[in-house]
Amino acid sequence: MKKQTIKITSLDLKLIEFFKRTFVPVARFSIFLIFFWFGLIKLLGLSPASPLAEALTARTVGMQYFDLLFYGLALVECVIGILFIFPKFTRIVIPLLLFHMVLVCSPILLVPEMVWQQFAVPTLEGQYIIKNAVVIAVAIGIAASAKPLTHRG
């Protein structure tokens, strides 16, 4: 019984080390994939998020700015995705991502009729927005792995 416990403990340690080594690269690639892909389909006019974006734009700044804002957001999403690939841009891309998250999560408050079917039951668009909590958590994990700045004097 003791030998089996040692094997399980050894396997557990190996798995934990593997996850520690691979978390940041996999997380960076995942955020790249999500942001670049979703930005690209917006740029190509294929995004299922267009009706939600139109409603948000109409409710806030007016439809005369829709194309500029929508394609600007799409471009920013692609840039965020690309920046996440390169560790040296972490301090730049994390605040950019957090600002982006405020914008894309704003429909929860600004156009709730498109986000909620009823209390605590999100629409498909609402689920799309709520999943951003995972993106934020992964970005925090990446930021936590950054090497501290050092004072050179």
d(CA 133, CA 137): 6
Per the domain annotation, does 59 fall within a domain?
yes
In a domain, 111, yes or no: yes
Q: How many domains does the chain have?
A: 1
| 34-91: pLDDT as tens digits | 999 999 999 999 999 999 999 999 999 999 999 999 999 999 999 999 999 999 999 9
pLDDT at 7: 85
**Cα dihedral across residues 66, 46, 124, 138: positive or negative:** negative
Q: Which residue has the higher pLDDT, 29 or 8?
A: 29
Residue 1 inside a domain? The answer is no
As a whole-number percent, the residues of the chain with pLDDT over 70 amount to: 97
Torsion angle, CA of 130/33/44/110, rounded to 10 degrees? 20
* Residue entry with tokens 């992964």: 138
Asked if residue 151 is part of any domain, the answer here is: no
Domain membership flag for residue 16? no
CA torsion, ordered 27, 32, 33, 36, to nearest 10 deg: 160
**75 within domain boundaries:** yes
Q: Decide if 56 contacts 111 (C-beta within 8 A).
A: yes
pLDDT, tens digit, 9 for 90 and up, residues 80-134: 999 999 999 999 999 999 999 999 999 999 999 999 999 999 999 999 999 999 9
Evaluate whether residue 9 is within a structural domain: no
Taking each continuous run of H as one helix and of E as one strand, the counts in the chain are: 7, 2
Whether the pLDDT of residue 153 is over 60: the answer is: no
CA-CA-CA-CA torsion sign (55, 57, 58, 63):
negative
Could you tell me the residue range of the domain that residue 63 belongs to? 25-144
Residue 88 lies in a domain: yes
